[in-house]
Structure 1
Amino acid sequence: MSTATARYAGQLRTEAQHVASGTTIHTDAPVDNHGRGEAFSPTDLVSAALGSCMMTIMGIVAERSSLDLTGVTFEVTKHMASEPRRIAEIEVSFRMPAGLSPKDRTVLENAARTCPVALSLNPEIRQSVQFSYEG
């Protein structure tokens, strides 16, 4: 079974549908590449997927240790290179609960950095990941 199907909607936009759930994602080319920037660009999705994957893997590890990560957030910033046009760097900044022990912090940070998306990206894409622990 396919993971997703997609169609070109015209004007540099696509509609992709997740086969199992029916969820739809729209993309638009970014303003700096002939689009309107009215939806995620494909490279935005790659960047968001990195942060989401890291957060999901941390959640799996946290559940095993009865840790509650509800409310953890991340911000992601994508940096593009021009020749050739590609993602050069993805910065992910997590805001984590302050009450985590040093051991739990280490385990969670390692889990994040070894998520499947992080391990699948081209090694030329810099992954700058930061964790801040706030009360």
Structure 2
Amino acid sequence: MPTIKSSYLGNLRTTSEHLQSGNSIITDAPVDNNGQGQAFSPTDLVAAALANCMVTIMGIVARRDGMDLDGLEWETTKVMQSDPRKISEIQVEFHWSNAPEDAKFLQKIKNAAKTCPVALSIDPAIKQNIKFNF
């Protein structure tokens, strides 16, 4: 059974529906690649998938340890190369001002983040620059 159903909307836009939940997203080509830049581009979604997957795995580990990630925030930067046009680097910077002072737990979730399914699936030629500010 498919996970996602998608269609082309025209004008370099697509829509995709997550069939189990009914949630949908729209993508738009970026301005520097003939689009309007009014939604996530497909490559933006790759970068977001990395960071969000990391946090999901961190959350699973935290929950298992009786902790939570309340207050955790992050910024994701996608770096493109031009020839051929592709993602060359994804930078993720985590900020957690109220992180617990448990060094062992913090190291455990950092390790978990770096081994999330998306991190392991991205081509090794794409540099993953991950910074934890906690």
User: Which consecutive residues of structure 2, in runs of 5 or more, have no partner in the other structure?
Assistant: none
Q: Which ranges of 4 or more aligned residues in structure 1 deviate by more than 4 Å? A: none
Partner SS, residue 38 of structure 1: coil
The residue aligned with 1:63 is 63
- 1:1-135 aligned within 5 A: 1-96=1-96, 97-133=98-134
Per-residue Cα deviation, 1:105-126 (whole angstroms, up to 9, x for no partner): 1100000000000000000000
- TM-score, normalised to structure 2's length? 0.97
CA distance in 1, matches of 2:81, 2:122: 15
Question: CA–CA distance in 1 between the matches of 2:39 and 2:72?
Answer: 24
Aligned residues: 133
Residue type at the aligned position of 1:101: D
Say which is worse superposed, 99-108 or 58-67, in terms of deviation: 99-108
Q: CA deviation at 1:68?
A: 1.6
Q: Tell me the distance in 2 between the aligned counterparts of 1:13 and 1:71.
A: 33
- TM-score, normalised via structure 1 length: 0.96
RMSD between aligned residues: 0.8
Task: Provide, for residues 92-115 of structure 1, a one-character-per-residue CA deviation record: whole Å limited to 9, x for no partner.
Answer: 011123323111111000000000
Once the two structures are overlaid, the 10-residue window that deviates more, 88-97 or 118-127, is 88-97
CA offsets, 1:4-31, max 9 Å, x none?
0100000000000001011010000000
